[in-house]
Amino acid sequence: MKKPRNTIAKRKILELINESPSAVSSQDIHAGVGTVCDRATVYRVLGRLVDEGEVHKIIDLDGVIRYAPCDQCDDHHHHHDHIHFSCEKCNALTCLEEVVPEFTLPKNYKAHSVNFTVSGICEKCA
């Protein structure tokens, strides 16, 4: 495993992700970094941040990849079994960390990870 470095691009991108109230796409990030770094670097940094467990990757309902802070995760426990809520009105994709769905798989199936997205109207747009 490579030894990650603390570069300007990384700090800026992490800041953008952490300060956004909802999950951001690579487009959002590229727009947000301005001249700090290149488009290619945005993709590379995002990939590393995910590998390092600093952010998590969410697939939106329309297939757009977005990134959100890994708030509730520490090095040993990642909790990615909560719901992602996609608002049809304001288009924000937010993590509802407190909502963890319950389900039972059929015999012989084994779950490793889950990805739950619910779309509808969020509290702000209600």
Partner DNA sequence: GTAACTGCAAAATATTTGCATCCTT
Partner DNA sequence: AAGGATGCAAATATTTTGCAGTTAC
In angstroms, the Cα distances linking 31 to 11, 27, 49, 112 are 15, 6, 18, 34
Residue among 76, 112, 113, 80 at smallest CA distance from 99: 80
Rounded to 5 degrees, what angle do the CA atoms 59, 29, 31 make? 130
Q: Are 86 and 71 in contact (CB under 8 A)?
A: no
Per-residue binder mask for DNA (CB under 7 A), 42-81, x = binder = -xxx-xx--------------xxx----------------
Of 13, 68, 93, 122, which one interacts with a copy of itself (CB under 8 A)?
122
Residue among 38, 53, 58 at smallest CA distance from 4: 53
Least distance from C-beta 13 to DNA, angstroms? Answer: 8
Compare residues 28 and 85 and give the one whose CB is closer to a copy of itself. Answer: 85
Residues 90-109 that bind a copy of itself (CB under 8 A): 96, 98-109
Q: Based on the shown chain and the rule CB under 8 A, indicate whether residue 118 belongs to the binding site for a copy of itself.
A: yes
Q: In the complex, which residues of this chain contact DNA (CB under 7 A)? A: 2-10, 26-27, 36-41, 43-45, 47-48, 63-65
